[in-house]
Structure 1
Amino acid sequence: MPAATALLRESPAARTGLSIAVATGAYGVSFGALGTASGLGVLEVCALSLLTFSGGSQFAFIGVIAGGGSAASAAGASTLLGLRNGVYAMQINALLRPRGWRRLAAAHVTIDESTATALAQEDRAEQARGFWVAGLGIFLLWNLMTLVGALAGDAMGDPQRWGLDGAAVAAFLGLLWPRLRGREPWAIAAVCAVVTVLCIPLVPPGVPILVAAAVAATIGWLQLRRERTAPTGVGA
């Protein structure tokens, strides 16, 4: 405990990771309650959090099941949303270069929040601290609160009235905000926000964020291509 306290006192990344873990992990209550409400058993809901551990993918799975879809279609929707974690994994592997068992552990806790916490840091050591504190913290709290929500079930009422969904979004925006420096990042963020809002009534839940990510990636690719083809100067 003294070592953990010292780490939190000396490392801004660790403090950020812990705050993100608390806000995001608490939202596991909502998943647990919604999972049992969709017809899954407590063990099945807990297994999804333990083995899948990707909030968007998990909510997509139970959303399809609750809507009467098959297990295959639920797995397909879940897998589609989980593809983004593969992109994150490439970034984290290049950034932190974990070895041995740490590589397997890093792969499992590579999610939106742990990746964003790491990328928000400038120092290499702080990047690692932020990633592990956020990733492992969310994993522990998410699974614990999933169990609580699954056992509580209908006694909790509507999980959204507790505001946990807003807490998770606010935590992620807190990470994003400092990275929006200059007009160009703000313009890209605004375009992606508009795309997301326009897609919400047209496509299944979870897909709008993928469309927005594709738009951002396309803009980034076009910018990179323009920079590579631009003249480097006269008389160089």
Structure 2
Amino acid sequence: MCSPHRTDDPSHRTGEGATGLVRFSDLPPGVLRDIALVWLADAVVGVSFGAIAVGGGLPVWVPVLMSLLVYAGSAQFSAVGVLTAGGGPVAAAATGLLLNSRTAAFSLALADDLGRSWTARLIGAHLVTDETAAFVLAQEGRRQRKAAFWISGVGLFVAWNLSVLAGALAGSALGDTDRFGLDAAFPAVLLALVLPALRGDSAARRASAVGAVV
């Protein structure tokens, strides 16, 4: 006698969302909107980074290659600061590595959401950032978490690298990027994303206050 319930759905055998391709439809429109806003903010900061690096005397290929291989905004800014101040590559790499060491904890927390294959995990590990971790941890289902990681992660990687290239090519033509207020764009977008949660959750407000003090 056949069961009235379907048993050929892969999610019944391997867990919710463990198989199948990532789809934009796996995420609510509001989450996709927030991801797109972070892409935009990341691109603005990327332009600033590329321009600062080249304006400081580095060749175009340095920020471009660094963005592809390192892919960590704070680490890249600090490394470029060391290099343009006359420091050596070892000091720059050590500074960037120290700043970016926090992503090791993120990688452990997100390991199950990257995929089962070693290829997916290796690529995914390179895409782990503060932003991707935040989007993933805000989702409940496995399929939603996986979609949040790959959609935000791939989009951020593309936006960051294209914008760094654009900023590097513009180089010194942009002059002092601080006068455009580019450094305020990313924090402003993150604040806009966080405010709705703070308005409706007193526990979140208390945790945020403690974090701000620390």
TM-score band by shorter chain is 0.7 to 0.9
SS of alignment partner, residue 104 of structure 1: helix
Output the amino acid matched with 1:134: S
Cα-to-partner distance string for 1:163-195 (whole Å, 9 max, x where unaligned): 332221122234444555655543343243234
Query: Structure 1: 5+ residue runs without aligned partners?
Result: 196-236
Query: Match for residue 69 of structure 1?
Result: 87
- Contact kept? 2:27, 2:144, Cα under 8 Å: no
Q: Match of 1:73, as an amino acid?
A: A
Which residue among 98, 105, 125 is the counterpart of 1:107? 125
> In structure 2, what is the equivalent of residue 34 of structure 1?
52
Q: Aligned partner of 1:92: which letter?
A: L
Q: TM-score, normalised by structure 1?
A: 0.72
Conserved 8 A contact 2:23-2:147: no
Query: What 5-or-longer segments of structure 2 have no aligned partner?
Result: 1-21
Which of 167, 176, 185 is the matching residue for 2:185? 167
Indicate the percent of aligned positions where both proteins have the same amino acid: 37
- Give 1:13 shift: 2.8
Deviation track 1:58-89 (CA, whole Å, cap 9, x = no partner) reads 00101112222222111111000110111111
Shift of 1:96: 4.8
Contact residue 127 and residue 154 of structure 2 kept, 8 A = yes
Higher alpha-carbon deviation: 29-38 or 178-187: 178-187
> Could you tell me which residue of structure 2 aligns to residue 230 of structure 1?
none
User: Relative contact order (C-alpha < 8 Å, sep 6+): which is higher?
Assistant: 2
Cα distance change on mapping 1:126 and 1:170 into 2, 3 Å: farther
User: Partner letter of residue 67 of structure 2?
Assistant: S
Q: Which amino acid aligns with 1:109?
A: L
User: 1:167–1:26: structure 2 CA closer, same or farther, 3 Å change rule?
Assistant: same
Render the CA deviation track for 1:38-66: whole Å, top value 9, x for unaligned: 22211111011000000010001011122
- The count of residues paired between Structure 1 and Structure 2 equals 192
Query: 1:177 and 1:98 mapped to 2: Cα distance?
Result: 35
- Counterparts in 2 of 1:89 and 1:5: CA distance versus 1, 3 Å: closer
C-alpha distance in 2 between matches for 1:152 and 1:8: 38
Offset of residue 25 of structure 1: 2.2
Which among 120, 138, 142 is matched to residue 124 of structure 1? 142
Q: CA offset at residue 95 of structure 1?
A: 4.4
Instruction: Kindly provide the amino acid, as one letter, of the partner of residue 187 in structure 1.
Output: R
Distance 1:118 1:179, change over 3 A: farther
C-alpha root-mean-square deviation of aligned residues, in Å? 2.6
**Within 2, Cα distance between the matches of 1:61 and 1:71?**
8
Contact 1:27 1:168 in 2 (8 A): yes
